[in-house]
Structure 1
Amino acid sequence: MAEKTVSQVYEEALGDGGFLQSNVLQKLLRFSSNGVNWKTFVQNALQASADVLEADVSGVYTYTFYRFGEVKIKPLLNYFRLEDPPTLKWNAELAQDASVANEVIQQFQRNNPIHGPVKNLRSEELKKLLSSLGYKSILYVPIWSNDRLWGCMCFHDKTIERIWPGRDVDFLQSVARLIGQSVTLDQLKDEVKRKDKVLNMAMEKSLDGTWELDLSNNVLTFSDSFKRMLNYEPAELQESIGAFERLIHPDERKEVLEKLDPFEVAETGSIELQYRLRNKFGKYIWVLTKASVLFDKAGKPQTFRASNIDITSKILYLDNLKKKEQEYRNLVNTVHEVIFRVDEDGAFTFVNPAWELLTGFSAEKSQGQKFINYVHSEDRFTIKELLFSKSDRDRSAYENMEIRFLTTNGNYRWMEVFTTITYHPNGKYKGAFGTMTDIHKRKEAELAQKETEERFRFMSESMSDLVSLHSINGAVYYVSPSINDILNLETYDVIGHNSSEFLNARDLIKIKNEIIEPLKKGEIEKGVTQIELRRKDGSAVWCETVIQPLGNGEKIDSVMAVTRDITERKKAEEEMQNALIKEKELNEFKSRFISMASHEFRTPLTSIKSSVDMMEMYADELDVNRNKPFIKHCDKIGVQISRLTNLMNDVLILGRTEANKMPFTPEPIDLVAFIMHFIEQNYLNLEDGRTVTLSVEGSRRDVRLDENLFSHILGNAISNAFKYSKDRPNPEVKIHYDDDFYSITIKDHGIGIPKKEQANLFESFFRAENTTGIEGTGLGLVIMKQFVEMHQGTIKIESAKGKGTSVIITFPYQPS
């Protein structure tokens, strides 16, 4: 995994709520930018980190590596946080264990931190040593300087077996990285000073690499030291102007030769020049040439004399120093926090590019401008009081405030300002420096939350429903005043108590298992249940409560419950339940009666029909005059028996349907073929000579129908079409196939149905006023409608009195 930068760790600390850690990183970055020496930096870094992580004993240790693998550990600084007061100790004694040190260093050489409870460490020697010192948990991170393991930071906890979260490990690694950079920068500065000193001494005491040009004879002479400087033996380097020119780096040759022109130098007296010369192996070294011109007695230039000093090391160290300084500059410029400095007049003397990103104002143009000009008018008094008081030396040197800054778009942005105030020796205000952190989203969220809380409180206190807030364990920390109306309790009787005190055991378990646990697992977004709450007098009241989670992200911190008294509703539900039970009993009685009545009627009707048939048979033996009236009355009896039998059959079917005892088994059929066959079987040889006209629209396809129920639907509809259109044109059947459904329309040209009576067509035993004299039970359409709905279909009647009737039946292709 790639190592995180300080800026990444800082941003993640802010995102995770680690504001103390982010403040420490900001403080250390300010120390870095102010150029404090590395020991001061280490002291501040160790103490601040230990306080944030609450480590009992912490320290910074350095390593010295000798030949044959020997390592010496030196305690540089220890911090004992639990002492009163907390104590910093430099160069304390340390009991060394070589085997333990080597195990730790092996981990550090791979840049791996070591952390966790001591009892979980793999090394038995390290575990034994740390246990003897009373440590229960550790966090060790390496410190690197100049690509070398310089030392380590060690944090110990003597009270708990702490498991250090990743955020703490990343934070301490960032602090260790800043310590390493501080040490490296100080070492580079010391090295540059030392090189400068050596160079100055060399220039004072010797003339390394001398060379001369005899201007009269145009002869160039190199000293042996000049040649050795370029790794040549005395006889290997040609002494000529051309050879010297070829030694100069091509990029600098023209400029160097122009500036070392003896006659140009003669006018100025002397010259110093840095440039590169190629050595024997083709590599270039940096030299400092100090040259002057000697004149003869006549005042003419006679000799050009120069000395070269090898300054390669100095140049390389200066370049390295520039790179390190650039790294710090880039760090300052790339962090998303504004780093600033203001003078005693309150004007910016420095501000990094983050200022422009957050406010829109140019960082360059803002320098020299008054800090206060960019502050929101309502916050300027606060800034003046805190920062620009001119004589208050006893006040705190550090300030922290939340301020609104103006932006170029006319709005403002909330920022948290951390400042260090500086004073002159006489106590006068000198200036301030610090950082600004963008907290606009957080602040807007806080203000919005505050407004929401105020609205919530106002709304909950004005609601008749009971609104309450509970911790995830049930503790009540808010309840609306309506608690008095529902439970006859005051808010102070409930707040601070556990909700279990007002619930019975059954409802407590139900809420936990059916709502709280599923909410924690993310299985539901909210839960609704009915419970019994205890009033002040101990009586129970039925309530319905809606519980939903409150929290940050996936973690549920607490829940909100909205509870309503449903005592009256509960009573109504019980009454309705009792009514439903009675209705069910009545329906069952009706079904039994219909079944019994149909059976009891069917037996005597069969007997009567048999008797009539026998009477007709005997009547054939009578003479004609006596036979005709006899046959006439027998026919009338037969018709009435058929009507009564049909009525019993319809009643029986209706009873079975309402009792959900009618079988329903849809199967794929060819609808067109089925209807054609049905018509041929039932409607081809009618007495009046009429038949049924069939037409098809759309793409023909199979459908799923229960053949028995559909035969009843189709037969009832076509029979009605014939029955109510006597002496009129043929009834028509049209099949229409659509994309998602299909329809069957049965149309007749008969007597029609009065408009005022069409609303009652699907009521049992209803018959229209214009059907007098036409046989019917008034149950056909009722049964048709129930059979159609069993197929998830619809039935619609379109009719006008005297203009015929259309029965339109629509089905889905795949009924469930």
Structure 2
Amino acid sequence: MKNHLLGISLANNILLDEPKFDDALQLCITILGESQEVNSCYVFKMETESIQYSYDSETKKTVKLLGTDASCNFFSEIKIMIPENKCFYGYREELKPTLFKTYLATKNTDSFLLTPIYSNNKLWGFIGYENHNRVDWINEEVRSLSILAKNIGIRAFKDALTEVIGTQMENLNYYMTGTNQAMWELDLTTKKTLYSYYWAEMIGYDKETIEHSYDFWRKNVHPDDIEAVEKNLHNYIANISDEYSGIMRMNHKKGHIIWVKYCGILKRDDDGTPLKIIGTHIDVTDIKEKEIQLQLSEEKYRFITENTTDIICQHNLDTSYIYLSNSFKEILGYETDQMINKIASDYVHPDDFKYVMAASNELASSGKHTVITYRFRKKDQTYVWLETTGKNIVNTDNKVIGTQTCSRDVSERIEIDEKREAALIKEKKFNEMKSEFVSMASHQFRTPLTVIYSNTELLDLKLNKNPAIKPITNRIKREVDRMTELMNNILVFAKYESQKLKKEIKPISFDAFVKLLIKTYFNNTPDGRKIKVITKGERKTFYSDESLLIHILTNLINNAFKYSIGKATPCLIINYLENKLEIEVIDYGIGIPEHEVEHLFTSFFRASNTNTIIGSGLGLVIVKQFTRFLSGTIELKTKENDGTIIKLQFPYEQE
């Protein structure tokens, strides 16, 4: 009896602990066969009409029989022979002639015991015990073996149910994975929770690491959301709210946050008691992040439009308003809500209407951005100048459905431009009058100066023998020369200032040009000095304007002689560089005081040490202007009482 109970206890433990039902069944048959000290022990399954496992005391082994055993056909009549939920046992000799009795005889069995196995109230099979000797079956043994058979039936039902549920969950997981939906189920009595595979994967877990419990879900919900979600769940279960749904944040295993859309359906029993909730979770992180970005963009856009000084508007294709920023009222005086659906073109100045509508139609048809300036009627019926740029609004089919415009008040700028334009016109007229006056005055002065000079020369001839008169006539001629130089420079300067000066570019043999210029203008200097010319580098053809170069060089060489009387001979250096022609004019005369150098190129300025020397104060100004006009540069170095060096550089070719 002791071995009997120990064997049943071991068999029960195996049914609880062994993961696989087939393995548990095989071990149970082995233990039962050994502990009950029977010659044979086996389990028969009705569904397959075959022995599943059989233990033999002689071999001490339990084997699995594959397929249907033909010798077991008689077991079908046992369904009738076994009383419902009761064991069937006895002696072979007491049985009526049946296939089962024949079977026992072939195996030399005298005593037998069949304990039925019921699974979900259905006869699943039975366990058979056989002895070659006559054995009396004790009631306690029969009862305990019957309980074990019942436990086997329970385990068989559980495994069958698990297999069905597993298959259903697998199919459901497949469906849920395809739709990005994760399924869950919450038992409201036990708080046990089932999660689909995709639910685990959604937050970074798998079926091995996930914990099927309510607490596992709770600890993975974002701390800031758990209170609201649980309140929503409680209200739904308590019939306070009609649905359980919403959006929450959940913690992913990798540490980031995902957004989840949740919903559930409550199942109640016949009395209305809540039993469980079945629901789904959908990862909507991408959608939510785009929604957040869109919201931020809208807020940013609204902040910009409501705080900018420009007028931001949106229009239908007929120019009617559908949106206006606050600056519309500030600039134009109209209430924004009153202008909705008003036609913008109705407020455009009549003289600008066609121009504005043409630009609007061009934008709608070609999408070409244009900036237009026009007058717009304010609420007080005055007009303001607006500068507007537009952009098309298109739908998902890329069809133009409206326009967005940005406008600003440019009335002040227009007023300034108009005043500037009027001032320019006035200045232009004044310059023309000045130029005409200078030209007229110069010509008018030239004639009497010529008469004065010629008559002074006549006086020299008539009074040649009177030395007292000679200084007077010389002084007259010097002043006439001074006035003539001044008139010539003023005429050239005025021509340049009025932009009437043109340049005629042609090739120049510069060495020959300089030689002729010196012969023409500087062959007979008052003190008899001759300028020294030095040429360096390989000669190249120089393209420039001869008349402008004559003005430049005569002014520079004349100054070199004029401001170095009694000093060494001035020097002209021509240097043919690789890409430029360089000209240096050097004198060793009075130089210029250091503090006055910055004023040298100012019109009519003359250095303080030149008061006794004839000059107009325009020579260097003309040199600088003409040099730049010929795309050249000018550089000046000077030291008082030590002379002056002026360096010019010109490109060999002019554009």
TM over 0.5: yes
Matched, 1:535 2:398: no
Determine the structure 1 residue equivalent to 2:224. Answer: 378
In structure 1, list runs of 5 or more residues that go unmatched.
Answer: 1-202, 205-263, 274-296, 300-324
1:517 to 348, 362, 365: 362
Q: 1:660 maps to what in 2?
A: 499
Contact 2:363 2:392 in 1 (8 A): no
Superposed CA deviations along residues 234-253 of structure 1, whole A, max 9, x for unmatched, are xxxxxxxxxxxxxxxxxxxx
Partner of 1:412: 257
Match of 1:591 in 2: 435
Could you say if the C-alpha distance between residues 394 and 690 of structure 1 is closer, same or farther in structure 2, counting changes exceeding 3 Å? closer
Contact 1:667 1:704 in 2 (8 A): yes
Contact 1:705-1:791 at 8 Å conserved across structures: yes
TM-score, with length taken from structure 2: 0.60
**1:594–1:480 distance in 2 versus 1, CA, 3 Å:** same
- Choose the corresponding residue for 1:495, options 329, 336, 340: 340
CA contact (8 A) 1:338 1:354 kept: no
Amino acid paired to 1:598: S
Which structure ranks higher in relative contact order (CA pairs < 8 Å, sequence separation ≥ 6)? Answer: 2
Q: Secondary structure at 1:439's aligned position in 2?
A: helix
Superposed CA RMSD in Å reads: 4.8
> For the Cα contact (< 8 Å) 1:668–1:702, is it kept in 2?
yes
Q: CA contact under 8 A between 2:564 and 2:587: conserved in structure 1?
A: yes
**Residue 442 in structure 1 maps to residue 290 in structure 2:** yes
Rounded to whole Å, the distance in 1 between the matches of 2:291 and 2:652 is 59
Verify: 1:349 aligned to 2:195, yes or no: yes
CA displacement at 1:586 relative to structure 2: 1.2
Q: Which is further off, 643-652 or 702-711?
A: 702-711
Residue 609 of structure 2 is matched in structure 1 by 770
SS of structure 2 residue aligned to 1:655: helix
Deviation at 1:793, TM superposition (A): 4.6
Aligned residue number for residue 507 of structure 1: 352
Question: Quick one: distance in 1 between partners of 2:249 and 2:367?
Answer: 39
The 2-side partners of 1:704 and 1:330 are apart by: 87
Could you give the per-residue CA deviations for residues 323-352 of structure 1, whole angstroms, max 9, x where no partner exists?
A: xx999999976x7x7431222158562244
- The separation in 2 between residues aligned to 1:609 and 1:409, in whole angstroms, is 105
1 CA distance for matches of 2:275 and 2:345?
A: 63
Aligned with 2:562 (options 716, 723, 729):
723
Q: Which has the larger radius of gyration?
A: 2
Mapping 1:329-728, distance limit 5 Å: 338-344=180-186, 349-352=195-198, 365-366=209-210, 368=212, 370-384=216-230, 391=237, 399=245, 401-407=246-252, 410-414=255-259, 417=261, 419=263, 421=265, 423=267, 428-437=275-284, 438-456=286-304, 459-460=307-308, 463=309, 466-471=311-316, 473-514=318-359, 517-518=362-363, 521-524=366-369, 527-540=370-383, 542-549=384-391, 557-564=402-409, 566=411, 568-611=412-455, 619=462, 625-626=465-466, 634-667=473-506, 687-693=528-534, 704-726=543-565, 727-728=567-568
How high is the sequence identity, in percent, across the aligned residues?
Answer: 27
- SS of residue in 2 equivalent to 1:430: strand
Structure 2 distance, partners of 1:441, 1:675, is: 80
Q: Is the 8 A contact 1:471 1:559 kept in 2?
A: no
Q: Does the CA-based 8 Å contact 2:587-2:644 persist in structure 1?
A: yes
Distance 1:375 1:761 in 2: 83
Whether contact under 8 Å (1:466, 1:479) holds in the other structure is yes
Deviations 1:725-753 (Å, cap 9, x if unpaired)? 330464464758588x8765545443232
Q: CA deviation at 1:269?
A: 7.4
CA distance in 1 between partners of 2:424 and 2:639 (Å): 39
Structure 1: distance between partners of 2:509 and 2:234: 95
- Give the counterpart letter for 1:447 in structure 2: Q
> Matched residues in 1 for 2:324 and 2:297: separation?
18
SS at 2:237 equivalent: coil
* Contact residue 647 and residue 777 of structure 1 kept, 8 A: yes
What does 1:182-331 align with in structure 2 at a 5 Å threshold?
Answer: 268=63, 270-271=65-66
What letter corresponds to residue 408 of structure 2 in structure 1? T
Paired amino acid for 2:374:
I
Could you say what secondary structure the match of 1:625 adopts?
Answer: coil
Is the CA contact (8 Å cut-off) linking 1:349 and 1:368 kept in structure 2?
A: yes
The 3 A distance-change label for structure 1 pair 391 and 593 is: same
Verify: 1:780 aligned to 2:619, yes or no: yes
How many residues of Structure 1 are paired with residues of Structure 2 in the alignment? 485
- Report if aligned partners of 1:723, 1:774 keep a CA contact under 8 Å in 2: yes
What is the Cα deviation at residue 588 of structure 1? 0.8
Q: 1:492 to 1:714 in 2, by over 3 A?
A: same
Q: Would the aligned equivalents of 1:390 and 1:428 in 2 still touch at CA under 8 Å?
A: no
Q: Could you tell me which runs of 5 or more consecutive residues in structure 2 were left unpaired when the two chains were aligned.
A: 1-47, 50-58, 69-105, 109-168
Deviations 1:594-626 (A, max 9, x none): 22222223334444455555666x54xx8x734
Deviation at 1:791, TM superposition (A): 3.4
C-alpha deviation, 1:452, in angstroms: 0.7
